[in-house]
Structure 1
Amino acid sequence: MDRIRIVGGHRLNGEISISGAKNAALPLIIASLLTEEPLTLENVPSLADVEQLIRILGNHGVDYALHGRRKAHTSSSYARVMRFEARNIVNIIAPYDLVSRMRAGFWVIGPLLARMGEAEISLPGGCAIGTRPVDFILDGLRALGAVITIENGYVHARAAKGLHGASYHFPKITVGGTHVLLMAASLAKGETVLHNAAQEPEVVNLAECLTAMGAQISGAGTRTIRIKGVEYLSGAQVKVIPDRIEAGTYAFAAAATGGNVLLRGANPNHLPIVLEKLQQAGARVDWEEDGVRIRREAPFITPVDIETAAYPGFPTDLQAQFMGLMTRAQGTAKITETIFENRFMHVQELARLGAHISLAGQTAEVEGVPLLQGAQVMATDLRASVSLVIAGLMAEGETIVNRVYHLDRGFERLEEKLAACGAEIERLRS
């Protein structure tokens, strides 16, 4: 199993090209199931989660082609162009052995049901960072006319006469639920209104894709989205938005090391509260024509409190990374997690590096220390793993991050991008 070795104490200086967003690419790829015409996606990141989703769609009969790779500026990352074609759906069943490895695989239920009138999808199972129930997705599909039963761990969904428009209010904001109902409603008869919908940029990216395919959607990016269903969706060519989570992660890494880094391609409009908190921590943020520049000239990091929330609040996917930054703050910061109940698993691993963190329910109190020391640490999930990388960049001596397959799910060539900016970091192949 691969590991990452870091020798801390080096400032990050240079440029990092931001890859396409994993959380946008996944629903865009799934949207290819809605049409028999080709859907071409630009800026698709090369990630383990993307490859797993391609395997899931292949099970349904989706063909794909890689149109080439474009070298992205100063890093060795690539922005891929991929074409997906679901001319013939050969299988409406998504089996447990595929869906259990990736929760987003469950989202195929919406397009399959809308286009084929039937879907049989395995329940996705547990998640290390907390509960992610599919109840809201199923309730929303029922509102659109689906008949749903659950047997032997599989959801059987049927709409023999097709789906119909409806008004549905999400009891709790859910990005996945918004994705699924957006796709399903695009081929439903009549108008669907989604209340309390997710506002994330990734939802807007999906709505733009569906609109390019012929859907009639208004309100994406607000809490109320209206979809007028159409009989047929065509192919389209759409670009995956830059990954705001990756951009925020490297922004924190630049501030943590006292560096100066241009995040090329980052969209600052997707990171309002993140950049605000970073400035409060002592970093300087400059919007440039081709990205965002992060630098920290202040001699120390100022402690800043955060509370995670649905967009446009502070993203739960950046909570662990911000905690890594706060371990060296001059004072105490409070970090409250409101989205997932188990998203503090990185605390004990940060403690191995010398961090002082105490937990009380869903709040972590981080008392900054003058020095972190390298150690062996274990990645517990995708975002937790990269918080250990940030801490390792600040620590004295050598840090070894184990189980980095978590990193490969969501960060494209992380060690190469950081090394290009002066970090002493390498992947140790198993």
Structure 2
Amino acid sequence: MSVRGAKNLVPKAMVAAILGSEPSVLRNVPAIRDVDVVRGLLSLHGVEVTSGPDAGNQDGELVLDPRNVESAHVADIGMHAGSSRIPILFCGPLLHRLGEAFIPDLGGCRIGDRPINYHLDVLRSFGAVVDKLDSGIHIHTSGRLQGTKVKLPYPSVGATEQVLLTAVCAEGVTELSGAAIEPEIMDLIAILQKMGAIISVDTDRVIRIDGVERLGGYVHRALSDRIETASWASAALATNGEIYVRGATQPEMMTFLNVFRRIGGEFEIDENGIKFSHPGYDLNSLVLETDVHPGFMTDWQQPLVVALTQAGGLSIIHETVYENRFGFTDALRDMGAVIQVYRECLGGTPCRFGQSNFNHSAVVSGPTKLQGGSIVVPDLRGGFSHLIAALAADGESKVEGIELINRGYENFMGKLGALGADVTLV
């Protein structure tokens, strides 16, 4: 089976095209719902989005022409309210092109507090005026945005993207400290540089952007989705199986691959992808803490927990990125998993939730045989983790709410069938 471009990059790359004075070409685009949402929002704002000649093959391609950008009707934008959190990233590009932006109420997975105050504070620091309305948020500016200094209290990926997309055409220099440096951020920076931006990244999480008056288009192939790759790798461990993930790349996966090997999993890397397999003997338990890049990614945690239910001994997982990411374990316990969640920090890394009333640590005891059951998908990554548990379980499972999984996993039903799973959509 194959993976294509990263969900955490492709929609943002599509938004970046608004900044250009010429069309852009984005390749390796996955057919997921988040891409459809952004495509719809771009069309509302006058950006012509067409499928390129390679859209039907593995190089799925979009051509984005922003030369006729215009303001969209509030009612039309509101139709997308709750469907994605991506609309907040339209602000900077639209302020540069039109002088105003309207953002509907935001949706996304309910895995913890992901406030947009970082974004609004960032936009205000550039000189934008923010008005909160009943239907959403109206943002405007009377002139060119001005470069500024931004210090993030936490290396938020979304806030870092907001700064980048706003600063590239602001007048003067912008300095962002405490920035996120995830691979998807670096790929977005590469795209903006192709468009004509001047961006430097220091070793101390400081990014400096010299604003330019004009950006052009880009031609770019999105980096592979490391989250989907890790999800399929975890499925191989949980089901005592083997999966070859075409399109997976090693550099973005190094931290995961080290953990995968510590558990006992085996992998082989070639120029076309990575083959993941169960070793054929008992898996090892481990102690794991999630963290911002280059630490162990929070989105890798949920599918891996399912695999750890099949490892011998006690595994300890400390979630330091999102405070409410263990809700998905309720369904696993109903299926026979032995998992206990705790409010305490069960790890050595200081985290923001240590003094709060959040269950952000878990202890998994295994191996335990899972039994099929009825499951309601709580969020994107938790939902795919439930699919992995259903594949590993004895008997039949019924999974409701799988439309959430379409946000980030392309043709996952077809891929499951191709791997030999007996899956029926009812």
User: Taking structure 1 as reference, are residues 392 and 302 closer, same or farther at Cα in structure 2, changes over 3 Å only?
Assistant: same
- Structure 1 residue 260 displacement after superposition: 2.9
Alignment TM-score, normalising by the size of structure 2? 0.91
SS in 2 for 1:197: coil
Q: Alignment partner of 2:13: what SS?
A: helix
2:340 aligns with one of 358, 363, 388: 358
Report if aligned partners of 1:150, 1:156 keep a CA contact under 8 Å in 2.
yes
Displacement of 1:100 in angstroms is 2.1
Which position in structure 1 is the counterpart of 2:389?
391
Q: Deviations over 1:279-311 (max 9, x none)?
A: 111112333222222222241121122222111
Tell me, what secondary structure is at the counterpart of 2:224? coil
Q: How is 1:125-204 mapped onto 2 (pairs within 5 angstroms)?
A: 127-204=109-186
**Residue range with higher mean Cα deviation, 63-72 or 352-361:** 63-72
What secondary structure sits across from 1:350 in the alignment?
helix
Q: Following the alignment from structure 1 to structure 2, what is the Cα–Cα distance between the partners of residues 198 and 171?
A: 11
Residue of 224, 227, 230 corresponding to 2:209: 227
Query: Are the equivalent residues in 1 in contact too, given 2:195–2:217 (CA < 8 A)?
Result: yes
The structure-2 alpha-carbon separation of the partners of 1:125 and 1:283, relative to structure 1 and needing over 3 Å to count, comes to: closer
Q: CA deviation at 1:241?
A: 0.8
Change in 2 beyond 3 A, CA 1:228/1:99: farther
Q: Say whether residues 1:117 and 2:115 are aligned partners.
A: no
Report how far residue 64 of structure 1 moved: 0.7
Percent sequence identity over matched residues? Answer: 35
Cα displacement (A) at 1:153: 4.8
Structural RMSD (CA): 1.9
Unaligned runs of 5+ in 1: 1-15, 73-77
Aligned counterpart, 1:99 = 81
Query: Matches of 2:274 and 2:363 in 1, distance apart?
Result: 29
Deviates more, 1:350-359 or 1:146-155: 146-155
Name the SS of the counterpart of 1:292 in structure 2: strand
Do the aligned residues in 2 keep the contact of 1:20 with 1:79 (CA within 8 Å)?
no
> For residue 365 of structure 1, what is the amino acid of its counterpart?
V
TM-superposition CA deviations, 1:157-189 (whole Å, max 9, x none): 222121111221111111111111101111111
2:123 & 2:10 partners in 1: Cα distance? Answer: 23
Question: Could you say what secondary structure the match of 2:121 adopts?
Answer: helix
The CA distance in 2 between the partners of 1:247 and 1:310, in whole Å, is 18
1:396-411 equivalent positions in 2, closer than 5 A: 396-411=394-409
Partner of 2:31: 46
1:425 to 412, 422, 425: 422
Change (3 A) 1:176 1:212: same
Correspondent of 1:314 among 287, 296, 303: 296
Contact 2:168 2:211 in 1 (8 A): yes
**Which structure has the highest strand share of the two?**
1
Q: For 1:158 and 1:111, how far apart are their aligned partners in 2?
A: 12
The structural deviation recorded for 1:222 is 6.4
Deviation at 1:38, TM superposition (A): 0.8
Unaligned runs of 5+ in 2: 344-359
Q: Secondary structure at the match of 2:62?
A: strand
Query: For this pair of structures, how many residues does the alignment match?
Result: 408
For residue 51 of structure 1, give the secondary structure of its aligned residue in structure 2.
helix
Give CA-to-partner distance per residue, 1:112-139, whole Å, 9 cap, x none: 1122222222342675211111111121
Following the alignment from structure 2 to structure 1, what is the Cα–Cα distance between the partners of residues 212 and 411? 40
Distance 1:127 1:406, change over 3 A: closer
Q: Could you tell me how far apart the structure 2 residues matched to 1:93 and 1:272 are?
A: 45
The reply to whether residue 246 of structure 1 matches residue 236 of structure 2 is no
Take 2:108 and 2:274, find their aligned partners in 1: how far apart are those partners? 37
CA contact (8 A) 2:94 2:101 kept: yes
Asked if 2 retains the 8 angstrom alpha-carbon contact of 1:207 and 1:220, the reply is no
**What is the identity, as a one-letter code, of the residue corresponding to 1:26?**
P
Contact 1:254 1:260 in 2 (8 A): yes
